[in-house]
Amino acid sequence: DSNGITISSGNLIIPDSIIHGGDSDTKVRFPSANKVSVETAGTEKLAILHDEIIINETGGDFNLRIEGDNNVNLLFVDAGNDRIGIKTSSPSTDLHIKSSFPAIRLEDDNEYSQIDSNGGTLTLSADAGNASSSSKITFEVDASEKARIDSSGNVGIGTTVVDGNKLAVLSGADSFGIY
């Protein structure tokens, strides 16, 4: 017809937009080849392209919320404050996890480590599933190891060799160990 809408071989062909009746700034658009976008209040909120999906490309204060079976804020993106919440709708830091037993699990092919909190206690666990021997926690500064705790509970500061000492300290050429 004169508006550019065509029905051909059972397909509805639309030049640009499907507009909600009585709400002209809410629409589904086809602004270019291989792109579909959704607009509300005259601003693009979602764009689907051939190789990516973009949410909030305009950088507006539009939050994103993903619900789970038991939590309406399983994942919450606070766009106005550039923060992400897990199980919270009001993240107070860049990444905020709220749970009765919050934990972060870091897993490779064979074992995993974990950071968790319970009752005011923060726990760092290397090889939490006890899948390999000789696990350790290392502390690095400026891409260099400065301290470690080995699988026997021995601590090395300034050295990677604790030689069975409960505490081994190396400062320059001087070193000492506590057994």
Mean pLDDT rounded to a whole number for the chain:
90
Express as a percent the part of the chain with pLDDT over 90: 63
Indicate the pTM of the whole model: 0.74
Above 60 in pLDDT, residue 179?
A: no
The DSSP secondary-structure symbol of 50 reads S
Q: How confident is the model at residue 176 (pLDDT cuts 50, 70, 90)?
A: low
Please state the rounded mean pLDDT for residues 154-164: 88
C-alpha Rg value of the chain to the nearest Å: 27
Give the model confidence (pLDDT) of 80-119 as tens digits.
999 999 999 999 999 999 999 999 999 998 899 999 999 9
| pLDDT > 60? residue 168 | yes
> Are 26 and 17 spatial neighbours (Cβ–Cβ below 8 Å)?
no
Report how far apart, in Å, the C-alpha atoms of 57 and of each of 4, 16, 17, 51, 79 are: 29, 19, 19, 15, 11
Burial label for 162, CB within 10 Å (0-12, 13-18, 19+), is buried
Residues in CB range of 127: below 8 A, 6 or more apart? 111, 112, 113, 135, 151
Instruction: Please tell me the predicted confidence (pLDDT) of residue 3.
Output: 74
Contacts of 121 (CB under 8 A, 6+ apart): none
